[in-house]
């Protein structure tokens, strides 16, 4: 039956497309794209070591969704895991009017039980490079992710030209299961997950060997052939063409840097928004980021070149991932003449900031409102609680409830919110350069209630962690919105004094993920015009698991009827049953 509906829709679209340029409105025929997915555990060898991961329809990474702006995506998701729930989040898709399809367990919906099916139905309204991933426990780190690419609608054009496209979904990979990792993170004493064993490009990596051993002293050459799961990634290209590289990172921990031997990269898109084009030798990609860069194959065509992805922001203990840019008609197996480009030093933050600060909106991007109605200042600290290690925001570490917020707030359940609302500020005078003077913290729901259509600024303040002289990079991702990145600063946020002067209101980039640098702050602005309940959190999986996030509950009274399947657990299920009796 769904198959039939699918082909009917296809026919309608074909018929409309056949009208060619005759009818200008022809292009507006948006299409529903149906997918039937089954999520299951499977044996896989992403870096040639066999492990168990979470895949979709027998694939890892999951299938790529390709759509056009305006299309409706329908994913019938069956949970074929044996003993745990599952959800999938569509990272970068704002879910306007469909907040229950955001795929966040305990926030937008009840986790889908084993053997049950939940249908995600939502519109992809903006062209761009996106991805999807699990959003329950640490399932993303278990391999539950894939790409989601939205092309411009028929009749529209991208504001730049290219001849072909290459897709690079970047991730990191641990040999320990996510269960072992989660137990360690919540144990006393705390057991840190450490650095990943390998970095993956489109789900493939190299552990304990290098594809370029000849250029990398002390490493052994990877055995080629044999295992299809970890065969080297090859990107075939023709000389003197321009390619659009779509690059997204769904890493659990690692901040990454990507470079292509001898080639320049022109950055044109970030998180589904066009940016003012600029040219670099390498780009930083934090977890949750996506970019498009243009690469022109203008180098010596008799050679192949390495694409190299290495670690930034943490002392690396993981070898770079390599892939081959294969200038045809050279053989793909022909080793590049040049060594893989070296990743900039992990702690060269000047390099990272120089890159990040160059990302500005392309002309034509909507500008932010000139002022805001509310400013929420969020201090990020690492804390202790009863012998556990936590990340806290304004001294509260986020824990998620049994009953998802969207349903419980929409149904007006009293138990939905903690009595005390989290604070809008951490006050002035906190010394961000030292470990917290009082490292104790508490847990809470961290729900900020936002008034409909208000303009909200959020200032994220980084600080020193528990150990001396340690402050990490944290990429913060907002669900349900793009935001303008208004500015960055080093040290403590100045408060009102000098704040406005440091903001870029002229051409700030629109994004859904923004980084805070060590000991620094980042200011963002968005309009609370999308009723729903939206997570805002550090995209580093173990940090989120340790409480590094807040929730924005936005005009929930304006949310349409929440599908029953999204509220079929906890207190909302009980309330539904009571209603049925009336």
The residues that touch ligand C2O, with contacts defined as CB under 6 A, are: 89, 91, 133, 135, 288, 477, 479, 535, 537, 539
What's the closest the beta carbon of residue 321 comes to ligand C2O, in angstroms? 20
**By the rule CB under 5 A, 233 interacts with Cu ion:** no
**By the rule CB under 5 A, 390 interacts with Cu ion:** no
**By the rule CB under 5 A, 503 interacts with Cu ion:** no
**By the rule CB under 5 A, 142 interacts with Cu ion:** no
Binding mask 417-456 vs Cu ion (x if CB under 5 A, - otherwise)? Answer: ----------------------------------------
Q: Which does 474 bind (CB under 5 to 8 A by kind): ligand C2O, Cu ion, none?
A: Cu ion
Kindly tell me which of 200 and 492 has the beta carbon lying closer to ligand C2O: 200
SS3 405: helix
Exposed, middle or buried: residue 132 (CB in 10 Å: 0-12, 13-18, 19+)? Answer: buried
CA 291 to chain CA centroid, nearest Å: 11
SS3 8: helix
Kindly tell me which of 143 and 547 has the beta carbon lying closer to Cu ion: 547
Q: Output b/e per residue, 288-319; b: 16+ Cβ within 10 A.
A: bbbbbbbbbbebeeebbbbbbbbbbbbebebb
Q: Which does 288 bind (CB under 5 to 8 A by kind): ligand C2O, Cu ion, none?
A: ligand C2O
**By the rule CB under 5 A, 254 interacts with Cu ion:** no
Exposed, middle or buried: residue 162 (CB in 10 Å: 0-12, 13-18, 19+)? Answer: middle
Q: Which does 135 bind (CB under 5 to 8 A by kind): ligand C2O, Cu ion, none?
A: ligand C2O
Kindly tell me which of 233 and 540 has the beta carbon lying closer to Cu ion: 540
What's the closest the beta carbon of residue 544 comes to Cu ion, in angstroms? 8
Helix (H) or strand (E) holding 576: helix 570-581
Residues 6+ apart with CB under 8 A from 196: 172, 173, 174, 251, 252, 253, 254, 318
Kindly tell me which of 211 and 510 has the beta carbon lying closer to ligand C2O: 510
What residues from 465 to 484 belong to the interface with Cu ion (CB under 5 A)?
474
Kindly tell me which of 33 and 539 has the beta carbon lying closer to ligand C2O: 539
DSSP structure string for 451-462: -TT-EEEEEEE-
Closest CA to 575 of 432, 409, 421: 409
Q: Which does 89 bind (CB under 5 to 8 A by kind): Cu ion, ligand C2O, none?
A: ligand C2O
In angstroms, rounded to a whole number, what is the distance separating the alpha carbons of residues 126 and 461?
30
**By the rule CB under 5 A, 389 interacts with Cu ion:** no
What residues from 530 to 549 belong to the interface with Cu ion (CB under 5 A)?
538, 540, 543
Closest CA to 372 of 523, 184, 165: 523
Q: What are phi and psi of 396, to 5 degrees?
A: -125, 130
Q: In the complex, which residues of this chain contact Cu ion (CB under 5 A)?
A: 474, 538, 540, 543
């Amino acid at each position: 039956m769904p198959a039939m509906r699918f082909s009917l829709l296809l026919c309608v679209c074909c018929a409309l497309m056949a009208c060619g340029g005759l009818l200008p409105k022809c292009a507006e025929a948006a299409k529903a794209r149906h997918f039937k997915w089954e999520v299951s555990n499977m044996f896989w060898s992403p870096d040639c070591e066999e492990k168990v991961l979470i895949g979709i329809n027998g694939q890892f990474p999951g299938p790529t969704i390709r759509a056009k702006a305006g299309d409706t995506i329908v994913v019938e998701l069956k949970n074929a895991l044996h003993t745990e729930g599952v959800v999938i989040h569509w990272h970068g898709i704002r879910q306007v009017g469909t907040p229950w399809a955001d795929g966040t367990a305990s926030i937008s919906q009840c986790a889908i039980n084993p053997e049950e099916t939940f249908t995600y139905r939502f519109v992809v309204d903006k062209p761009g490079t996106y991805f999807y991933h699990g959003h329950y426990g640490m399932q993303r780190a278990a391999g539950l992710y894939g790409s989601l690419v939205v092309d411009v609608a028929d009749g529209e054009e991208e504001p730049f030209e290219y001849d072909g496209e290459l897709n690079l979904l970047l991730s990191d990979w641990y040999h320990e299961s996510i269960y072992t990792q989660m137990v360690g993170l919540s144990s006393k004493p705390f057991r840190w997950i450490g650095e990943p064993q390998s970095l993956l490009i489109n789900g493939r990596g190299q552990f304990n060997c290098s594809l370029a051993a000849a250029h990398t002293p002390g490493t052994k050459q990877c055995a080629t052939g044999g295992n299809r799961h970890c065969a080297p990634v090859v990107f075939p290209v023709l000389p003197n063409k321009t390619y659009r590289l779509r690059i997204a990172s769904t890493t659990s921990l690692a901040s990454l840097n990507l470079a292509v031997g001898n080639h320049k990269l022109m950055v044109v898109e970030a998180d589904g928004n066009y940016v003012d084009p600029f040219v670099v030798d390498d780009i930083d990609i934090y977890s949750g980021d996506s970019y498009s860069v243009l690469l022109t194959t203008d180098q010596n065509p008799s050679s192949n070149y390495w694409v190299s992805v290495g670690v930034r922001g943490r002392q690396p203990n993981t070898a770079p991932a390599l892939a081959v840019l294969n200038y045809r008609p050279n053989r793909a197996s022909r080793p590049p003449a040049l060594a893989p480009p070296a990743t900039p030093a992990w702690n060269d933050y000047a390099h990272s900031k120089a890159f990040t600060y160059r990302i500005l909106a392309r002309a034509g991007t909507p500008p932010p409102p000139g002022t805001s109605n509310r400013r929420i200042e969020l201090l990020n600290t690492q804390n202790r609680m009863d012998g556990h290690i936590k990340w806290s925001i304004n001294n509260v570490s986020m824990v998620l409830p049994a009953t998802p917020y969207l349903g419980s707030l929409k149904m007006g359940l009293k138990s939905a919110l903690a009595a005390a609302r989290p604070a809008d500020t951490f006050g002035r005078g906190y010394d961000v350069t030292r470990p917290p003077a009082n490292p104790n913290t508490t847990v809470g729901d961290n729900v900020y209630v936002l008034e409909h259509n208000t303009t909200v600024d959020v200032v994220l303040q980084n600080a020193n962690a528990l150990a001396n002289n340690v402050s990490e990079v944290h990429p913060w991702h907002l669900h349900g919105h793009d935001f303008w990145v208004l500015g960055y600063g080093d040290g403590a946020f100045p408060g009102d004094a000098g704040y406005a002067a440091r903001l870029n209101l002229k051409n700030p980039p629109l994004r859904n993920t923004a980084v805070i640098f060590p000991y620094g702050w980042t200011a963002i602005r968005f309009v609370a015009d999308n009723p729903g309940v939206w997570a805002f959190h550090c995209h580093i999986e173990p940090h989120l698991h340790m409480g590094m996030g807040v929730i924005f509950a936005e005009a929930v009274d304006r949310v349409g009827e929440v599908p029953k399947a999204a509220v079929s657990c906890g207190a909302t299920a009980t309330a539904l049953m009571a209603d049925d009796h009336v």
